[in-house]
Structure 1
Protein backbone atom coordinates (compact mmCIF):
# COMPACT_ATOMS: atom_id res chain seq x y z
CA UNK A 1 0.00 0.00 0.00
CA UNK A 2 1.05 3.60 -0.55
CA UNK A 3 -0.39 6.93 0.58
CA UNK A 4 -1.64 8.16 -2.79
CA UNK A 5 -2.57 11.58 -1.44
CA UNK A 6 0.98 12.17 -0.20
CA UNK A 7 2.54 10.78 -3.38
CA UNK A 8 0.34 12.89 -5.65
CA UNK A 9 1.14 15.99 -3.59
CA UNK A 10 4.86 15.18 -3.93
CA UNK A 11 4.73 15.03 -7.73
CA UNK A 12 2.01 17.62 -8.28
CA UNK A 13 -0.69 15.37 -9.72
CA UNK A 14 -4.40 16.20 -9.40
CA UNK A 15 -5.90 14.08 -12.17
CA UNK A 16 -8.05 10.95 -12.31
CA UNK A 17 -7.21 7.92 -10.19
CA UNK A 18 -7.83 5.25 -12.78
CA UNK A 19 -5.86 2.66 -14.73
CA UNK A 20 -5.93 4.50 -18.05
CA UNK A 21 -3.01 5.16 -20.36
CA UNK A 22 -3.65 8.89 -19.89
CA UNK A 23 -3.08 8.52 -16.14
CA UNK A 24 0.04 6.40 -16.72
CA UNK A 25 1.47 9.02 -19.08
CA UNK A 26 0.73 11.86 -16.66
CA UNK A 27 2.34 10.12 -13.69
CA UNK A 28 5.32 9.03 -15.78
CA UNK A 29 6.01 12.64 -16.77
CA UNK A 30 5.56 14.14 -13.30
CA UNK A 31 7.50 11.59 -11.24
CA UNK A 32 11.04 12.20 -12.63
CA UNK A 33 10.40 15.95 -12.71
CA UNK A 34 9.65 16.02 -8.98
CA UNK A 35 11.75 13.19 -7.51
CA UNK A 36 15.39 13.21 -8.66
CA UNK A 37 17.59 10.23 -9.38
CA UNK A 38 20.43 10.04 -6.85
CA UNK A 39 22.44 7.44 -4.97
CA UNK A 40 24.04 9.53 -2.24
CA UNK A 41 23.30 6.96 0.47
CA UNK A 42 25.39 4.40 -1.42
CA UNK A 43 28.25 6.88 -1.69
CA UNK A 44 28.07 7.56 2.05
CA UNK A 45 28.13 3.82 2.80
CA UNK A 46 24.68 3.90 4.37
CA UNK A 47 23.20 1.19 2.20
CA UNK A 48 19.74 1.42 0.67
CA UNK A 49 16.63 0.09 2.36
CA UNK A 50 13.99 -0.68 -0.29
CA UNK A 51 11.25 -1.69 2.09
CA UNK A 52 8.06 0.23 1.28
CA UNK A 53 8.14 2.20 4.53
CA UNK A 54 11.75 3.27 4.00
CA UNK A 55 11.20 4.23 0.36
CA UNK A 56 8.10 6.27 1.20
CA UNK A 57 9.82 8.01 4.12
CA UNK A 58 12.72 8.99 1.88
CA UNK A 59 11.19 9.76 -1.54
CA UNK A 60 7.72 10.99 -0.56
CA UNK A 61 8.19 12.58 2.85
CA UNK A 62 11.95 13.14 3.19
CA UNK A 63 12.75 15.48 0.32
CA UNK A 64 15.12 12.96 -1.21
CA UNK A 65 15.51 11.05 -4.45
CA UNK A 66 16.77 7.54 -5.03
CA UNK A 67 17.96 5.04 -7.58
CA UNK A 68 16.04 2.62 -9.78
CA UNK A 69 15.00 0.10 -7.13
CA UNK A 70 13.53 2.87 -4.99
CA UNK A 71 11.87 4.82 -7.80
CA UNK A 72 10.38 1.88 -9.64
CA UNK A 73 9.31 -0.03 -6.53
CA UNK A 74 7.40 3.08 -5.43
CA UNK A 75 5.96 3.52 -8.92
CA UNK A 76 4.90 -0.14 -8.91
CA UNK A 77 2.93 0.29 -5.71
CA UNK A 78 1.30 3.50 -6.95
CA UNK A 79 0.25 1.92 -10.25
CA UNK A 80 -0.96 -1.26 -8.55
CA UNK A 81 -3.06 0.79 -6.13
CA UNK A 82 -4.67 2.49 -9.13
CA UNK A 83 -5.56 -0.86 -10.70
CA UNK A 84 -2.76 -1.37 -13.23
CA UNK A 85 -1.17 -4.79 -13.72
CA UNK A 86 2.57 -4.34 -13.18
CA UNK A 87 5.43 -6.78 -13.69
CA UNK A 88 9.01 -6.06 -12.62
CA UNK A 89 11.78 -6.84 -15.12
CA UNK A 90 15.56 -7.00 -14.72
CA UNK A 91 17.70 -5.12 -17.24
CA UNK A 92 21.38 -5.09 -18.16
CA UNK A 93 22.68 -1.52 -18.40
CA UNK A 94 24.58 -0.66 -21.61
CA UNK A 95 24.63 3.12 -21.19
CA UNK A 96 28.11 4.61 -21.88
CA UNK A 97 29.56 1.12 -22.39
CA UNK A 98 31.69 0.44 -25.51
CA UNK A 99 30.10 -1.91 -28.05
CA UNK A 100 32.57 -4.70 -27.27
CA UNK A 101 32.22 -4.45 -23.49
CA UNK A 102 31.45 -7.77 -21.78
CA UNK A 103 27.91 -8.32 -20.57
CA UNK A 104 27.24 -6.91 -17.12
CA UNK A 105 24.87 -8.27 -14.45
CA UNK A 106 21.22 -7.28 -14.67
CA UNK A 107 21.25 -4.53 -12.04
CA UNK A 108 18.51 -2.25 -13.35
CA UNK A 109 14.84 -2.54 -12.43
CA UNK A 110 12.19 -1.63 -15.04
CA UNK A 111 8.45 -2.23 -15.31
CA UNK A 112 6.03 -3.80 -17.76
CA UNK A 113 2.62 -2.20 -17.28
CA UNK A 114 -0.61 -3.42 -18.82
CA UNK A 115 -2.98 -0.60 -19.75
CA UNK A 116 -5.96 -0.59 -22.09
CA UNK A 117 -5.09 -3.92 -23.66
CA UNK A 118 -1.45 -3.15 -24.37
CA UNK A 119 1.89 -3.64 -22.59
CA UNK A 120 4.03 -0.60 -21.85
CA UNK A 121 7.64 -0.14 -20.70
CA UNK A 122 7.73 2.18 -17.70
CA UNK A 123 10.93 3.38 -16.01
CA UNK A 124 11.13 6.42 -13.75
CA UNK A 125 14.58 5.58 -12.36
CA UNK A 126 17.27 5.77 -15.07
CA UNK A 127 19.15 8.97 -14.33
CA UNK A 128 19.87 11.40 -17.16
CA UNK A 129 18.29 9.15 -19.77
CA UNK A 130 15.08 8.45 -17.86
CA UNK A 131 11.91 7.95 -19.83
CA UNK A 132 9.40 10.78 -19.51
CA UNK A 133 6.63 8.69 -21.07
CA UNK A 134 5.85 4.97 -21.20
CA UNK A 135 6.90 3.16 -24.38
CA UNK A 136 4.89 0.53 -26.21
CA UNK A 137 6.48 -2.91 -26.22
CA UNK A 138 6.90 -2.76 -30.00
CA UNK A 139 10.23 -3.53 -31.65
CA UNK A 140 11.88 -1.59 -34.47
CA UNK A 141 9.57 1.40 -34.07
CA UNK A 142 10.83 4.89 -33.25
CA UNK A 143 8.87 6.23 -30.27
CA UNK A 144 8.98 9.99 -29.74
CA UNK A 145 8.93 11.60 -26.30
CA UNK A 146 9.32 15.25 -25.31
CA UNK A 147 13.02 14.87 -24.48
CA UNK A 148 14.33 12.01 -26.60
CA UNK A 149 13.42 9.48 -29.26
CA UNK A 150 13.66 5.79 -28.34
CA UNK A 151 13.39 2.43 -30.01
CA UNK A 152 13.23 -1.16 -28.81
CA UNK A 153 15.26 -3.64 -30.84
CA UNK A 154 14.70 -7.38 -30.73
CA UNK A 155 17.77 -9.27 -29.47
CA UNK A 156 18.20 -12.95 -28.56
CA UNK A 157 16.02 -13.54 -25.52
CA UNK A 158 14.60 -10.04 -25.19
CA UNK A 159 14.70 -6.39 -26.23
CA UNK A 160 17.31 -3.64 -26.21
CA UNK A 161 16.31 -0.04 -25.48
CA UNK A 162 18.17 2.59 -27.51
CA UNK A 163 18.00 6.39 -27.36
CA UNK A 164 18.78 8.83 -30.14
CA UNK A 165 21.51 11.30 -29.23
CA UNK A 166 23.96 13.51 -31.17
CA UNK A 167 26.19 10.53 -31.98
CA UNK A 168 23.30 8.41 -33.24
CA UNK A 169 21.43 5.54 -31.63
CA UNK A 170 22.94 4.69 -28.23
CA UNK A 171 22.04 1.56 -26.24
CA UNK A 172 20.56 2.27 -22.80
CA UNK A 173 19.83 -1.20 -21.45
CA UNK A 174 18.79 -4.73 -22.31
CA UNK A 175 15.55 -6.25 -21.03
CA UNK A 176 19.28 -7.44 -7.11
CA UNK A 177 19.34 -4.41 -5.13
CA UNK A 178 21.99 -5.74 -2.69
CA UNK A 179 24.75 -5.78 -5.31
CA UNK A 180 23.95 -2.30 -6.58
CA UNK A 181 23.93 -0.62 -3.18
CA UNK A 182 26.75 -2.42 -1.36
CA UNK A 183 29.17 -4.20 -3.69
CA UNK A 184 32.60 -2.47 -3.91
CA UNK A 185 32.53 -2.52 -7.72
CA UNK A 186 29.13 -0.81 -8.01
CA UNK A 187 29.59 2.64 -9.59
CA UNK A 188 27.07 4.05 -7.10
CA UNK A 189 29.68 3.43 -4.38
CA UNK A 190 32.24 5.72 -6.01
CA UNK A 191 30.46 8.39 -8.06
CA UNK A 192 28.40 11.37 -6.96
CA UNK A 193 25.62 11.42 -9.53
CA UNK A 194 22.20 12.97 -9.64
CA UNK A 195 19.64 13.54 -12.39
CA UNK A 196 16.30 15.26 -12.80
CA UNK A 197 14.14 15.60 -15.90
CA UNK A 198 11.57 18.40 -16.05
CA UNK A 199 9.23 19.42 -18.89
CA UNK A 200 11.86 21.94 -20.08
CA UNK A 201 15.25 20.29 -19.51
CA UNK A 202 17.32 17.37 -18.29
CA UNK A 203 19.76 18.14 -15.47
CA UNK A 204 22.69 15.91 -14.57
CA UNK A 205 25.47 16.01 -11.99
CA UNK A 206 28.49 13.70 -12.13
CA UNK A 207 31.10 14.54 -9.48
CA UNK A 208 31.57 18.30 -10.07
CA UNK A 209 30.27 18.39 -13.65
CA UNK A 210 26.79 19.88 -13.94
CA UNK A 211 25.08 19.41 -17.31
CA UNK A 212 21.89 21.00 -18.60
CA UNK A 213 20.17 19.67 -21.73
CA UNK A 214 17.33 22.11 -22.58
CA UNK A 215 14.41 20.74 -24.52
CA UNK A 216 14.99 23.41 -27.17
CA UNK A 217 18.57 24.57 -26.95
CA UNK A 218 22.25 23.69 -26.72
CA UNK A 219 23.49 21.48 -23.85
CA UNK A 220 25.79 23.24 -21.38
CA UNK A 221 28.32 21.94 -18.86
CA UNK A 222 29.69 23.67 -15.76
CA UNK A 223 32.50 22.67 -13.39
CA UNK A 224 31.37 23.42 -9.85
CA UNK A 225 33.21 23.97 -6.60
CA UNK A 226 31.92 22.45 -3.36
CA UNK A 227 29.54 25.33 -2.65
CA UNK A 228 28.23 25.12 -6.21
CA UNK A 229 27.62 21.38 -5.91
CA UNK A 230 25.75 21.87 -2.65
CA UNK A 231 23.63 24.64 -4.19
CA UNK A 232 22.76 22.51 -7.23
CA UNK A 233 21.82 19.52 -5.07
CA UNK A 234 19.52 21.75 -3.04
CA UNK A 235 18.12 24.18 -5.62
CA UNK A 236 18.09 22.22 -8.90
CA UNK A 237 17.53 18.69 -7.64
CA UNK A 238 15.43 19.72 -4.65
CA UNK A 239 17.30 17.53 -2.17
CA UNK A 240 17.29 18.04 1.58
CA UNK A 241 21.07 18.42 1.82
CA UNK A 242 22.48 17.17 5.12
CA UNK A 243 25.55 18.66 6.86
CA UNK A 244 27.08 15.15 6.92
CA UNK A 245 27.25 15.23 3.11
CA UNK A 246 29.88 18.00 3.09
CA UNK A 247 33.01 15.75 3.02
CA UNK A 248 31.52 13.76 0.14
CA UNK A 249 30.68 17.00 -1.69
CA UNK A 250 34.18 18.39 -1.17
CA UNK A 251 35.65 15.15 -2.50
CA UNK A 252 33.49 15.40 -5.62
CA UNK A 253 34.60 18.99 -6.16
CA UNK A 254 38.20 17.79 -6.51
CA UNK A 255 37.43 15.49 -9.44
CA UNK A 256 39.70 16.17 -12.46
CA UNK A 257 38.14 17.55 -15.67
CA UNK A 258 36.64 14.90 -17.94
Structure 2
Protein backbone atom coordinates (compact mmCIF):
# COMPACT_ATOMS: atom_id res chain seq x y z
CA UNK A 1 0.00 0.00 0.00
CA UNK A 2 2.90 2.36 0.76
CA UNK A 3 6.67 2.07 1.10
CA UNK A 4 6.98 2.50 4.85
CA UNK A 5 10.79 2.62 4.76
CA UNK A 6 10.75 5.52 2.30
CA UNK A 7 7.97 7.35 4.16
CA UNK A 8 9.67 6.97 7.54
CA UNK A 9 12.94 8.23 6.06
CA UNK A 10 11.07 11.26 4.67
CA UNK A 11 9.64 12.25 8.07
CA UNK A 12 12.57 11.06 10.20
CA UNK A 13 10.77 8.31 12.11
CA UNK A 14 12.73 5.37 13.55
CA UNK A 15 10.32 3.96 16.12
CA UNK A 16 8.14 0.86 16.38
CA UNK A 17 5.68 -0.16 13.66
CA UNK A 18 2.65 -1.09 15.71
CA UNK A 19 -0.93 0.29 15.75
CA UNK A 20 -0.61 2.01 19.13
CA UNK A 21 -1.51 5.48 20.33
CA UNK A 22 2.16 6.27 20.96
CA UNK A 23 3.05 5.45 17.34
CA UNK A 24 0.10 7.48 16.05
CA UNK A 25 1.15 10.49 18.11
CA UNK A 26 4.76 10.24 16.99
CA UNK A 27 3.86 10.07 13.29
CA UNK A 28 1.29 12.86 13.62
CA UNK A 29 3.93 15.19 15.09
CA UNK A 30 6.63 14.38 12.53
CA UNK A 31 4.55 14.55 9.34
CA UNK A 32 3.65 18.30 9.37
CA UNK A 33 7.22 19.20 10.29
CA UNK A 34 8.75 17.24 7.41
CA UNK A 35 6.21 17.56 4.58
CA UNK A 36 4.91 21.11 3.97
CA UNK A 37 1.44 22.18 2.99
CA UNK A 38 1.36 23.80 -0.46
CA UNK A 39 -0.73 23.90 -3.63
CA UNK A 40 1.67 25.40 -6.15
CA UNK A 41 0.62 22.94 -8.85
CA UNK A 42 -2.86 24.52 -8.83
CA UNK A 43 -1.33 27.89 -9.74
CA UNK A 44 0.63 26.25 -12.56
CA UNK A 45 -2.47 24.57 -14.06
CA UNK A 46 -0.89 21.18 -13.55
CA UNK A 47 -3.84 19.76 -11.65
CA UNK A 48 -3.57 17.57 -8.57
CA UNK A 49 -3.36 13.81 -9.04
CA UNK A 50 -4.35 12.06 -5.78
CA UNK A 51 -3.65 8.52 -6.95
CA UNK A 52 -1.28 6.68 -4.58
CA UNK A 53 1.46 6.51 -7.18
CA UNK A 54 1.35 10.25 -7.89
CA UNK A 55 1.18 11.23 -4.21
CA UNK A 56 4.09 9.00 -3.25
CA UNK A 57 6.20 10.28 -6.15
CA UNK A 58 5.51 13.88 -5.15
CA UNK A 59 5.44 13.89 -1.33
CA UNK A 60 7.79 11.02 -0.47
CA UNK A 61 10.30 10.85 -3.32
CA UNK A 62 10.02 14.32 -4.88
CA UNK A 63 10.56 16.46 -1.80
CA UNK A 64 7.33 18.34 -2.44
CA UNK A 65 4.37 19.15 -0.23
CA UNK A 66 0.68 19.04 -1.01
CA UNK A 67 -2.78 19.81 0.31
CA UNK A 68 -5.29 17.81 2.33
CA UNK A 69 -6.17 15.07 -0.16
CA UNK A 70 -2.49 14.35 -0.73
CA UNK A 71 -1.39 14.57 2.91
CA UNK A 72 -4.27 12.71 4.51
CA UNK A 73 -4.55 10.23 1.65
CA UNK A 74 -0.91 9.30 2.19
CA UNK A 75 -1.27 9.26 5.98
CA UNK A 76 -4.32 7.03 5.72
CA UNK A 77 -2.38 4.46 3.70
CA UNK A 78 0.53 4.60 6.16
CA UNK A 79 -1.78 4.00 9.13
CA UNK A 80 -3.69 1.25 7.34
CA UNK A 81 -0.43 -0.50 6.46
CA UNK A 82 0.55 -0.36 10.13
CA UNK A 83 -2.74 -2.01 11.11
CA UNK A 84 -4.84 0.93 12.29
CA UNK A 85 -8.58 0.85 11.38
CA UNK A 86 -9.09 4.12 9.45
CA UNK A 87 -12.13 5.83 7.90
CA UNK A 88 -12.00 8.86 5.65
CA UNK A 89 -14.33 11.77 6.44
CA UNK A 90 -15.02 15.11 4.74
CA UNK A 91 -15.41 18.59 6.18
CA UNK A 92 -16.71 22.05 5.22
CA UNK A 93 -13.95 24.62 5.75
CA UNK A 94 -14.87 27.68 7.83
CA UNK A 95 -11.37 29.05 8.46
CA UNK A 96 -11.11 32.83 7.93
CA UNK A 97 -14.81 33.05 7.04
CA UNK A 98 -17.43 35.30 8.71
CA UNK A 99 -20.02 33.67 10.94
CA UNK A 100 -22.80 34.34 8.42
CA UNK A 101 -20.91 32.87 5.44
CA UNK A 102 -22.98 30.32 3.47
CA UNK A 103 -22.04 26.66 3.95
CA UNK A 104 -19.11 25.54 1.81
CA UNK A 105 -18.85 22.23 -0.05
CA UNK A 106 -17.12 19.38 1.74
CA UNK A 107 -13.67 19.89 0.27
CA UNK A 108 -11.43 19.00 3.19
CA UNK A 109 -10.33 15.46 4.05
CA UNK A 110 -9.92 14.28 7.65
CA UNK A 111 -9.47 10.81 9.17
CA UNK A 112 -11.15 8.81 11.91
CA UNK A 113 -8.76 6.30 13.46
CA UNK A 114 -9.60 3.62 16.02
CA UNK A 115 -7.02 2.91 18.71
CA UNK A 116 -8.00 0.27 21.24
CA UNK A 117 -11.59 0.66 20.07
CA UNK A 118 -11.65 4.41 20.83
CA UNK A 119 -12.16 6.91 17.97
CA UNK A 120 -9.54 9.58 17.31
CA UNK A 121 -9.56 12.43 14.79
CA UNK A 122 -6.45 12.77 12.64
CA UNK A 123 -5.54 15.57 10.20
CA UNK A 124 -2.04 16.28 8.86
CA UNK A 125 -3.22 18.48 5.97
CA UNK A 126 -4.78 21.73 7.20
CA UNK A 127 -2.17 24.37 6.45
CA UNK A 128 -1.20 26.83 9.15
CA UNK A 129 -3.64 25.40 11.69
CA UNK A 130 -2.76 21.76 11.13
CA UNK A 131 -3.05 19.41 14.09
CA UNK A 132 0.24 18.18 15.53
CA UNK A 133 -1.42 15.39 17.52
CA UNK A 134 -4.54 13.24 17.16
CA UNK A 135 -7.65 14.42 19.02
CA UNK A 136 -10.17 12.27 20.84
CA UNK A 137 -13.31 12.30 18.70
CA UNK A 138 -15.35 13.49 21.66
CA UNK A 139 -17.57 16.61 21.63
CA UNK A 140 -16.97 19.28 24.27
CA UNK A 141 -13.56 18.07 25.37
CA UNK A 142 -10.85 20.76 25.26
CA UNK A 143 -7.62 19.19 24.05
CA UNK A 144 -4.19 20.79 24.22
CA UNK A 145 -1.55 20.10 21.58
CA UNK A 146 1.98 21.47 21.38
CA UNK A 147 0.86 24.59 19.50
CA UNK A 148 -2.88 25.09 20.08
CA UNK A 149 -5.91 24.07 22.12
CA UNK A 150 -8.84 22.52 20.21
CA UNK A 151 -12.38 21.37 20.85
CA UNK A 152 -15.13 19.65 18.88
CA UNK A 153 -18.58 21.26 19.11
CA UNK A 154 -21.80 19.63 17.81
CA UNK A 155 -23.42 21.62 14.99
CA UNK A 156 -26.50 19.79 13.74
CA UNK A 157 -25.32 16.39 12.50
CA UNK A 158 -21.72 17.58 12.18
CA UNK A 159 -18.85 18.33 14.53
CA UNK A 160 -17.15 21.71 14.33
CA UNK A 161 -13.42 21.81 15.01
CA UNK A 162 -12.52 25.03 16.83
CA UNK A 163 -9.10 26.35 17.81
CA UNK A 164 -8.40 28.78 20.66
CA UNK A 165 -6.57 31.87 19.44
CA UNK A 166 -6.13 35.41 20.77
CA UNK A 167 -9.66 36.40 19.72
CA UNK A 168 -11.26 33.34 21.35
CA UNK A 169 -12.55 30.11 19.83
CA UNK A 170 -12.20 30.21 16.05
CA UNK A 171 -14.00 27.71 13.75
CA UNK A 172 -11.74 25.65 11.49
CA UNK A 173 -14.16 23.29 9.75
CA UNK A 174 -17.37 21.25 10.16
CA UNK A 175 -16.87 17.50 9.92
CA UNK A 176 -19.46 15.17 8.41
CA UNK A 177 -19.43 11.86 10.25
CA UNK A 178 -20.45 9.61 7.34
CA UNK A 179 -17.48 7.72 5.83
CA UNK A 180 -16.33 8.74 2.35
CA UNK A 181 -15.20 6.59 -0.55
CA UNK A 182 -12.32 7.46 -2.84
CA UNK A 183 -14.67 8.81 -5.53
CA UNK A 184 -15.90 11.43 -3.06
CA UNK A 185 -12.36 12.74 -2.69
CA UNK A 186 -11.69 12.61 -6.42
CA UNK A 187 -14.71 14.82 -7.06
CA UNK A 188 -13.81 17.24 -4.24
CA UNK A 189 -10.19 17.35 -5.39
CA UNK A 190 -11.25 18.17 -8.93
CA UNK A 191 -13.31 21.10 -7.64
CA UNK A 192 -10.59 22.34 -5.29
CA UNK A 193 -7.79 22.16 -7.85
CA UNK A 194 -9.62 23.44 -10.94
CA UNK A 195 -12.70 25.51 -10.08
CA UNK A 196 -12.17 29.25 -10.66
CA UNK A 197 -13.58 30.11 -7.20
CA UNK A 198 -11.13 27.86 -5.37
CA UNK A 199 -8.64 29.97 -3.39
CA UNK A 200 -5.90 27.50 -4.28
CA UNK A 201 -6.21 28.76 -7.86
CA UNK A 202 -5.31 32.32 -6.87
CA UNK A 203 -3.16 32.31 -3.73
CA UNK A 204 0.48 31.42 -3.29
CA UNK A 205 0.55 29.78 0.11
CA UNK A 206 2.65 27.36 2.09
CA UNK A 207 2.72 26.16 5.70
CA UNK A 208 4.96 24.06 7.89
CA UNK A 209 4.70 23.30 11.60
CA UNK A 210 7.79 22.25 13.54
CA UNK A 211 8.16 21.63 17.29
CA UNK A 212 9.44 25.21 17.59
CA UNK A 213 6.94 27.23 15.51
CA UNK A 214 4.26 27.45 12.88
CA UNK A 215 5.39 29.02 9.59
CA UNK A 216 2.93 30.34 7.03
CA UNK A 217 3.38 32.07 3.69
CA UNK A 218 0.52 33.92 1.98
CA UNK A 219 1.58 35.78 -1.16
CA UNK A 220 4.55 37.85 0.08
CA UNK A 221 3.89 37.73 3.83
CA UNK A 222 5.72 35.24 6.03
CA UNK A 223 4.05 34.65 9.41
CA UNK A 224 5.88 32.95 12.26
CA UNK A 225 4.00 31.79 15.37
CA UNK A 226 6.65 30.57 17.83
CA UNK A 227 5.54 28.06 20.39
CA UNK A 228 4.81 30.13 23.47
CA UNK A 229 5.97 33.37 21.83
CA UNK A 230 4.58 36.35 19.96
CA UNK A 231 3.53 36.14 16.32
CA UNK A 232 5.82 37.92 13.83
CA UNK A 233 5.29 38.95 10.20
CA UNK A 234 7.79 39.68 7.45
CA UNK A 235 7.08 41.17 4.02
CA UNK A 236 9.18 39.64 1.25
CA UNK A 237 10.32 40.52 -2.24
CA UNK A 238 10.58 37.86 -4.96
CA UNK A 239 14.04 36.80 -3.85
CA UNK A 240 12.82 36.53 -0.28
CA UNK A 241 9.82 34.42 -1.27
CA UNK A 242 12.05 32.04 -3.18
CA UNK A 243 14.46 31.88 -0.25
CA UNK A 244 11.80 30.96 2.33
CA UNK A 245 10.22 28.42 -0.02
CA UNK A 246 13.62 26.69 -0.09
CA UNK A 247 14.89 27.27 3.44
CA UNK A 248 11.76 27.45 5.61
CA UNK A 249 9.37 25.19 3.69
CA UNK A 250 12.11 22.90 2.32
CA UNK A 251 10.69 22.92 -1.22
CA UNK A 252 12.69 22.21 -4.39
CA UNK A 253 11.89 25.47 -6.16
CA UNK A 254 11.60 25.04 -9.93
CA UNK A 255 12.31 27.67 -12.61
CA UNK A 256 8.64 27.43 -13.67
CA UNK A 257 7.62 28.85 -10.29
CA UNK A 258 9.27 32.22 -10.93
CA UNK A 259 6.25 33.97 -12.53
CA UNK A 260 3.93 33.10 -9.63
CA UNK A 261 6.62 34.13 -7.15
CA UNK A 262 6.99 37.52 -8.85
CA UNK A 263 3.20 37.93 -8.96
CA UNK A 264 3.00 37.19 -5.23
CA UNK A 265 5.78 39.70 -4.50
CA UNK A 266 3.80 42.42 -6.27
CA UNK A 267 0.92 41.93 -3.81
Give the TM-score taking structure 2 as reference length.
Answer: 0.95
| Distance in 2 (alpha carbons) for counterparts of 1:174 and 1:158 | 6
Find the residue that maps to 1:74 and give its secondary structure. Answer: helix
2:197 match:
185
Shift of 1:146: 0.4
1:104 match:
104
1:143 match:
143
Give the alignment of 1:163-178 within 5 angstroms: 163-175=163-175, 176-178=188-190
Find the residue that maps to 2:106 and give its secondary structure. Answer: coil
Residue by residue, what CA displacement relative to the aligned partner does 1:159-187 show, whole Å, maximum 9, x if unpaired? 00000000000000000111001111100
| Distance in 2 (alpha carbons) for counterparts of 1:254 and 1:240 | 22
| Distance in 2 (alpha carbons) for counterparts of 1:244 and 1:218 | 35
Find the residue that maps to 1:181 and give its secondary structure. Answer: helix
1:213 match:
225
- Structure 1: stretches of 5+ with no match in the other structure: none
| Distance in 2 (alpha carbons) for counterparts of 1:225 and 1:119 | 45
Structure 1: 4+ residue segments shifted above 4 A: none
Shift of 1:250: 0.2
| Distance in 2 (alpha carbons) for counterparts of 1:53 and 1:141 | 38
Shift of 1:211: 0.3
Shift of 1:155: 1.3
| Distance in 2 (alpha carbons) for counterparts of 1:86 and 1:158 | 19
Number of aligned residues? 255
Q: 2:259 aligned with 1:247, yes or no?
A: yes
Give the TM-score taking structure 1 as reference length.
Answer: 0.98
| Distance in 1 (alpha carbons) for counterparts of 2:261 and 2:240 | 10
